[in-house]
């Protein structure tokens, strides 16, 4: 992995937001999703670093950044991104999953954003996102059973189809071992054990933004909606709803990808190709709606 620089900004409530930085060029912000940190988007960042100054923050509550704070919600996350925009001059942003929710809400609040790319934001409509697993997850976190909680979240959200076919009694000890192995992170990386409990805050964003699709009809930015054909139906439905509401939106579906497509565990180079086309398109020419059929 090539080297990266680091920076930090101070959000409106005083929270420090730290970020990793690659490349040289127009600024581009990448926002990770739930149970992830900036370390999981390094492949995507490096693939775009020859054309952009890529800034990947640890969203609050993780790694280089401060805690969630007592009044956590989407407004705090938007303030964090505002601080990054003010520091970097970015007018382009990408968000994965709950990071996509943050990017979407920021696009509504910050008209300076010209191009916004969203990969499967879990925008809930009429209870479309499964959340019946959440009480069990909370109990397991409270009991310190991080591996079990990870299994509960992954099975409940249905984002990893293979895991859905593996019994819990097989998965839980494997996840517990993985968590213990990751207790000593490398460099700025955040251990798995520290990331799993943060999922409760990302679910809070999902709940807060549920039923808000119509509000994004006034987003002025060009928006690229990205998703994988192997992802759960409720995520594909959220993208379809946004495509119908957003005034300047185009969609790309990756036939061979699922929800983790942009991460290091997915196929970040494939996603980067679509993002490069979108973010480098001439302002007077809309980005192509294809170019990602791999």
The pLDDT value recorded for residue 175 is 53
In this predicted structure, the answer to whether residue 251 has a pLDDT above a threshold of 90 is yes
Report the greatest alpha carbon distance in the chain: 55
Q: Provide mean pLDDT across the span 108-130.
A: 94
The pLDDT value recorded for residue 126 is 81
- Region 5-128+211-280: CATH code: 3.40.50.1820
The pLDDT value recorded for residue 159 is 85
More confident residue, 260 or 181: 260
- In contact, 38 and 56? CB cutoff 8 Å: yes
In this predicted structure, the answer to whether residue 144 has a pLDDT above a threshold of 70 is yes
The pLDDT value recorded for residue 283 is 58
**Integer angstrom CA distances of residue 3 from 21, 268, 269, 289:** 9, 18, 18, 33
89 CB burial (10 A radius; 0-12, 13-18, 19+): exposed
pLDDT in tens, 183-207: 455 689 999 899 999 999 999 999 9
Q: Provide mean pLDDT across the span 110-133.
A: 94
Q: How confident is the model at residue 127 (pLDDT cuts 50, 70, 90)?
A: confident
Reading the block at residue 130, the tokens are 């499964």
Q: Provide mean pLDDT across the span 92-119.
A: 97
- In contact, 226 and 274? CB cutoff 8 Å: yes
Q: Provide mean pLDDT across the span 167-173.
A: 49
The pLDDT value recorded for residue 100 is 98
- In contact, 198 and 86? CB cutoff 8 Å: no
In this predicted structure, the answer to whether residue 117 has a pLDDT above a threshold of 70 is yes
The pLDDT value recorded for residue 39 is 97
The pLDDT value recorded for residue 2 is 59
C-alpha torsion angle, residues 193, 261, 7, 108 (rounded to 10): -110
- Gap between the Cα atoms of 285 and 59, Å rounded: 32
Tell me the backbone φ, ψ of residue 65, rounded to 5 degrees: -105, 165
The pLDDT value recorded for residue 287 is 47
Q: Provide mean pLDDT across the span 265-289.
A: 82
Listed by start position, the domains of the chain span: 5-128+211-280, 134-203
> What does the DSSP assignment read for the chain?
----EEEEEE-TTS-EEEEEEE-SSSEEEEE--TT--GGGGHHHHHHHTTTSEEEEE--TTSTTS----TT-SHHHHHHHHHHHHHHH---EEEEETHHHHHHHHHHHH-TT--EEEEE-----STT-S--TTHHHHHHHHHTT-HHHHHHHHHHHHT--HHHHTS-HHHHHHHHHHHHHHTSS--TTPPPHHHHGGGHHHHHHHHHHHTT-GGGGGG--SEEEEEEETTS-HHHHHHHHHHHHH-TTEEEEEETT--TTTTSTTS-HHHHHHHHHHHHHS-TTSPPPS-S---
The pLDDT value recorded for residue 177 is 46
pLDDT in tens, 278-288: 999 865 555 45
The residue assigned the tokens 């900036």 is: 38
The closest alpha carbon to 203, from 77, 65, 40, 34, belongs to 34
């Amino acid at each position: 992995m090539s080297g990266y620089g680091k920076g930090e900004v101070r959000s409106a409530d005083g929270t420090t937001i730290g970020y990793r930085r690659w490349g040289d060029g127009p600024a581009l912000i990448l926002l990770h999703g739930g149970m992830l940190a900036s370390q999981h988007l390094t492949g995507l960042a490096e693939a775009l670093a020859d054309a952009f100054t890529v800034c990947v923050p640890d969203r609050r509550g993780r790694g280089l950044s401060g805690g969630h704070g007592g009044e956590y919600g989407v407004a705090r996350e938007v303030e964090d991104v505002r601080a990054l925009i003010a520091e970097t001059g970015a007018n382009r942003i990408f968000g994965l999953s709950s990071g996509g929710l943050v990017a979407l809400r920021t696009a509504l609040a910050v008209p300076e954003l010209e191009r916004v790319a969203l990969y499967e934001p879990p925008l809930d409509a009429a209870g479309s996102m499964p959340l019946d697993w959440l009480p069990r997850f909370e109990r397991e976190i409270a009991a310190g059973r991080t591996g079990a909680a990870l299994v509960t979240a992954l099975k409940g959200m249905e984002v990893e189809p293979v895991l859905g076919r593996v019994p819990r009694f097989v998965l839980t000890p494997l996840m517990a071992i993985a968590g213990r192995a990751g207790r000593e992170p490398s460099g700025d990386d955040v251990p798995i054990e520290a990331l799993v409990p943060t999922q409760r805050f990302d679910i809070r964003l999902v709940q807060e933004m549920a039923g808000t699709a119509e509000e994004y009809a006034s987003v002025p930015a060009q928006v690229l909606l990205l998703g994988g054909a192997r992802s759960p139906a409720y995520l594909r439905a959220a993208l379809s709803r946004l495509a119908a509401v957003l005034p300047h939106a185009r969609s790309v579906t990756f036939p061979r990808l699922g929800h983790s497509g942009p991460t290091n565990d997915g196929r970040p180079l494939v996603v980067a190709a679509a993002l490069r086309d979108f973010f480098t398109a001439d302002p007077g020419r809309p980005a192509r709606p294809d170019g990602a059929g791999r």
